[in-house]
Amino acid sequence: MKFSLEWLKQFLDTDASVSDLADAMTAIGLEIEGVEDPADRLEGFSVAKVLTAAPHPDADKLQVLTVDTGDGKPLQVVCGAPNARAGMKGVLGQPGATVPANGMVLKKAAIRGVESNGMMCSTRELELGDDHDGIIELPEDAPVGASFADYSGASPVFDVFITPDRADCMGVMGIARDLAAAGLGTFKPVEVPTIETDGSCPVEIRTDDSEGCPAFYARVITGVKNGASPEWMQRRLIAAGQRPISALVDCTNYLMLSTGRPAHVYDLNKLSGPVVARRAKAGEKVLALNEKEYELDESMTVIADDKGAHDIGGIMGGEHSGADEASTDVLLEIAYFDPDRIAKTGQKLMLSSDARTRFERGVDPAFMDDGLALLTDLIVKTCGGTPSEVTRAGTPPMERPTITFDWNRTAALGGIEVPRERQVEILESLGFTVEGDDVTAPTWRHDIEGPADLVEEVARIVGFDQVPSTPLPRPDGVAHPTATRSQVVERRLRRAAAARGFNEAITWSFIPTSQADLFGGAPNLVANPISEDMKAMRPSLLPGLAAAARRNLDRGASSVRLFEVGRRYLAEGEKPTAALLMAGERSARDWDVGKATGFTAFDAKAEALALLEAAGAPTDNLQLFMDAGETWHPGRSAKLGLGPKKILAAFGEPHPELARALDLPKGTVVAEIFLDQIPQPKKTERARTPYAPPALQAVSRDFAFIVPNDLPADQLVRAIRGADKKAIVDARIFDRYEGNDALSLAVEVTLQPEAKSFTEEELSAISKKIVEAAVKKGATLRG
């Protein structure tokens, strides 16, 4: 909301400086977004008189003027305006001044060979209006040499952000009231004029929708002459960012900006029959003032006559019934619309307007007659005419809750001690009625519902800066740990991945539907996405990482190790997941090692296991299941789990078709860890079990087996470990040889004696069991 200082001063008697006023507004919750002083922009422009005007020797459309600037030394100025002539007064920009409209800095120049010492300006060049047909013509009595800023009464303009709860401050008057309460001056409420009327209102007014439009007041003014609004009004409107249109329209805008009260003016001659507030018919169409047609439904309120709906009630007037330059008889409408209905209608139609903004936040229901009188007065003073009496249909809802206020709440909730008398004074200065402990909000405040609201009123006027900082009570002792198990898991996993050379990425939660479809589709689609590429809530973290990898490779990265910890959005809920992606070079070419190497599925396995370990998963107990699923390379991927139904991770190469669809380079490997599947470790004591190293050294024995080609090594090792659970503490593949027709695996088995060393007999018995276990898996001991 923008308004000028001189406008504010109509409602506020104050000597406060612009910056004090601005600071005070911010301090009481009317956030200053900017203060602009047009005098700054008009610096270097002054009132000047054209002494002589002669044709330019080399240009038909230009004239050479001599201009009196008030210092007795006339300047020569070249001017192209058709209205420039000797004897007129205008606005001269001298060298050094900046033209507000285009930022051009004026300087002495030769125009077609003739020296020019400045510029005579148009309204548009000074951003005072749209007129650019000629230069500004000032009245005879304009003092030559005066700064144009002073002459034109340029006044600093405040730009204030009004929060949605403060409809009362969507007019200058309300802001003045708040500032007066904060001690910045004396509030001067608007003076409501008495209107001389002639006869009753000739038009019947009704409201058939008492819910949407509980009150509708109106009057007719006959014999008006619409034209330009007065200069003082235009100046205020322009300062407020409104373009002057015509006196009738400007008067309604002026009333709204001044008092927060929207109104509408109809051309009486375009109406026929009673003017009625009613529900729209389904599919009923209205061509609004913005020249767009809106199709309405039965939840919306319109203002209609016998011919049909003209007005989207409380939101926008109609194109066919509004007052225009030719209007002579007008109907003024001041209505009260239900805030909720206005909001819903505005949302449905996606139609914003200054009226909607005010009605949906709630206007002052007690200001209907006053508003109508003010508007009538403005119109009669500018356009003439004879007003009728007011006709009123319905009554606006005026009830305000009476709050029984415990004055100690200000300290208990607001944290600030304010004497009761001061609290009462503040509330009364804001228009509240205080009787004992009973407080009633003024009719213009729709946001006051309970004691907390009163605390805010008192605290904001006293100033939040006066609230003393109060330490939160601190429990005894050192702060207790607060992170949950899953939070600790995520932190450890992140730092483990970073330690292992992975860069953490955060990618969008939404991905293209086509990519989600590669993973079986997204159960959650955004209905109103920013773009189609951000439509599907990701069912997998891989598309985001793949796109990131592709971008990095395209930027010249030779090796990509990325990970992300985030959620997958599945039908059964949001699943915390970690994903890793490796692409490009595993190691660069090197003088020592040789050629660059690529990643293999084993890298993905190593990372998956390392991160599971860091996350506290029981990695010793994990089983491996080949083929991680449809999106994976069937022979080069696997799952790790505590059983086929309890899968903690998947890793390997993505399926070649997926890799192609995601534009991943050959040799990309990935891993996913399903964080919600990692079991909680059993609650353990801090103290470890007693340290009891075995008394005797372990012995190791090597076995080499010929095994079936499709036997997973893991199964052989598990079988061997199971052969003698007491003696065998470890078994590890240390050699693998794929011959022409046979696969050979060599296993180092570690045996731990207990009290006594193994005897030869014991050792050969264990060996026998190991071989038997291997044979059961189809292995034969190599000779």
Partner 1 sequence: MIDREEILARIGAADDAASLEALRVENLGKQGKVTQLLKTLGKMSPDERKTEGPKIHALREAVQGALDARKAELDRAELEARLKTETLDLSLPTPAAPQGSIHPVSQVMDELAEIFADLGFAVAEGPEIEDDWHNFGALNIPEAHPARAMQDTFYIAQGDNEEGAPQVLRTHTSPVQIRTMMRDKPPLRIIAPGRVYRSDSDATHTPMFHQVEGLVIDRNIHLGHLKWTLETFLKAFFERDDVELRLRPSYFPFTEPSAEVDVGYSIENGRPVIGGRENWMEVLGSGMVHPKVIANCGLDPDEWQGFAFGCGIDRLAMLKYGMDDLRAFFDADLRWLRHYGFSFLDTPTLSAGVGA
> Quick one: DSSP state of residue 268?
G
Looking at beta carbons only, is 359 or 703 nearer to partner 1? 359
Q: Are strands 597-598 and 573-587 parallel, antiparallel or unpaired?
A: antiparallel
H-state helical runs in 202-322: 231-239, 247-259
Neighbour tally for 82: CB within 10 Å: 11
Footprint (CB under 8 A) of partner 1, residues 478-507: 479-484, 487, 491, 494-507
> What whole-number distance in Å separates Cα of residue 137 and Cα of residue 761?
123
Mutual angle of helices 231-239 and 247-259, in 10-degree steps: 50
Say whether 69 sits in a helix, a strand or coil. coil
Looking at beta carbons only, is 392 or 568 nearer to partner 1? 568
User: Is 413 a binder of partner 1 (CB under 8 A)?
Assistant: yes
Looking at beta carbons only, is 28 or 378 nearer to partner 1? 28
> What whole-number distance in Å separates Cα of residue 707 and Cα of residue 773?
12
15, 465, 476, 620: which one binds partner 1 (CB under 8 A): 465
Choose the stretch contacting partner 1; rule: CB under 8 A; options: 238-246, 307-315, 520-528, 599-607. 520-528
19, 272, 402, 587: which one binds partner 1 (CB under 8 A): 587
User: Is 526 a binder of partner 1 (CB under 8 A)?
Assistant: yes
User: Is 428 a binder of partner 1 (CB under 8 A)?
Assistant: no
CB neighbour list of residue 389: distance below 8 Å, 6 or more residues apart = 197, 199, 200, 201, 219
> What whole-number distance in Å separates Cα of residue 610 and Cα of residue 771?
32
User: Is 560 a binder of partner 1 (CB under 8 A)?
Assistant: yes
Choose the stretch contacting partner 1; rule: CB under 8 A; options: 184-192, 308-316, 333-341, 385-393. 333-341
Nearest to 623 by CA among 643, 609, 595: 643
Footprint (CB under 8 A) of partner 1, residues 106-165: 163-165
* Helix (H) or strand (E) run with residue 11 in it: helix 5-11
Looking at beta carbons only, is 590 or 702 nearer to partner 1? 590
Give the shortest CB-273-to-partner 1 separation in angstroms: 32
Looking at beta carbons only, is 340 or 735 nearer to partner 1? 340
Footprint (CB under 8 A) of partner 1, residues 357-396: 357, 360-361
Q: Are 306 and 330 in contact (CB under 8 A)?
A: no
DSSP 75-99: EEEEE--TT--TT-EEEEEPTT-B-
User: Is 561 a binder of partner 1 (CB under 8 A)?
Assistant: yes
Footprint (CB under 8 A) of partner 1, residues 156-195: 163-166
User: Is 589 a binder of partner 1 (CB under 8 A)?
Assistant: no
User: Is 569 a binder of partner 1 (CB under 8 A)?
Assistant: yes
Choose the stretch contacting partner 1; rule: CB under 8 A; options: 11-19, 285-293, 563-571, 766-774. 563-571
Give the shortest CB-548-to-partner 1 separation in angstroms: 3
Nearest to 653 by CA among 640, 641, 639, 635: 635
Say whether 325 sits in a helix, a strand or coil. coil
Looking at beta carbons only, is 303 or 455 nearer to partner 1? 455
User: Is 398 a binder of partner 1 (CB under 8 A)?
Assistant: no
Give the shortest CB-467-to-partner 1 separation in angstroms: 5
> What whole-number distance in Å separates Cα of residue 66 and Cα of residue 74?
6
Choose the stretch contacting partner 1; rule: CB under 8 A; options: 20-28, 72-80, 105-113, 193-201. 20-28
Amino acid sitting at position 23: D
Q: Are strands 559-570 and 503-504 parallel, antiparallel or unpaired?
A: parallel
Say whether 745 sits in a helix, a strand or coil. strand
415, 616, 618, 753: which one binds partner 1 (CB under 8 A): 415
Nearest to 263 by CA among 208, 336, 163, 194: 336
User: Is 471 a binder of partner 1 (CB under 8 A)?
Assistant: yes
Nearest to 565 by CA among 645, 502, 641: 502
User: Is 474 a binder of partner 1 (CB under 8 A)?
Assistant: yes
Looking at beta carbons only, is 361 or 633 nearer to partner 1? 361
Give the shortest CB-458-to-partner 1 separation in angstroms: 9
Say whether 483 sits in a helix, a strand or coil. coil
Footprint (CB under 8 A) of partner 1, residues 429-448: 447
Q: Is 660 exposed, middle or buried (0-12, 13-18, 19+ CB in 10 A)?
A: exposed
> What whole-number distance in Å separates Cα of residue 94 and Cα of residue 105?
10
Choose the stretch contacting partner 1; rule: CB under 8 A; options: 257-265, 275-283, 393-401, 546-554. 546-554
User: Is 778 a binder of partner 1 (CB under 8 A)?
Assistant: no
User: Is 744 a binder of partner 1 (CB under 8 A)?
Assistant: no
User: Is 343 a binder of partner 1 (CB under 8 A)?
Assistant: yes
Give the shortest CB-479-to-partner 1 separation in angstroms: 5
Give the shortest CB-28-to-partner 1 separation in angstroms: 6
Give the shortest CB-593-to-partner 1 separation in angstroms: 7
# residues near partner 1 by CB under 8 A: 100
**Plot region of 45 (φ>0 → left; ψ -120 to 50 → alpha; else → beta):** beta
Choose the stretch contacting partner 1; rule: CB under 8 A; options: 372-380, 406-414, 638-646, 649-657. 406-414
Give the shortest CB-287-to-partner 1 separation in angstroms: 25
User: 3-state SS of 405-457?
Assistant: CCCCHHHHHHCCCCCHHHHHHHHHHCCCEEECCEEECCCCCCCCCCHHHHHHH
User: Is 404 a binder of partner 1 (CB under 8 A)?
Assistant: no
User: Is 212 a binder of partner 1 (CB under 8 A)?
Assistant: no
49, 279, 392, 460: which one binds partner 1 (CB under 8 A): 460
470, 684, 709, 740: which one binds partner 1 (CB under 8 A): 470
User: Is 422 a binder of partner 1 (CB under 8 A)?
Assistant: no
In order of 315, 624, 681, the CA distances from 646 in angstroms are: 59, 11, 15
User: Is 538 a binder of partner 1 (CB under 8 A)?
Assistant: no
Give the shortest CB-170-to-partner 1 separation in angstroms: 12
Q: Are 4 and 240 in contact (CB under 8 A)?
A: yes
Give the shortest CB-147-to-partner 1 separation in angstroms: 31
Looking at beta carbons only, is 589 or 768 nearer to partner 1? 589
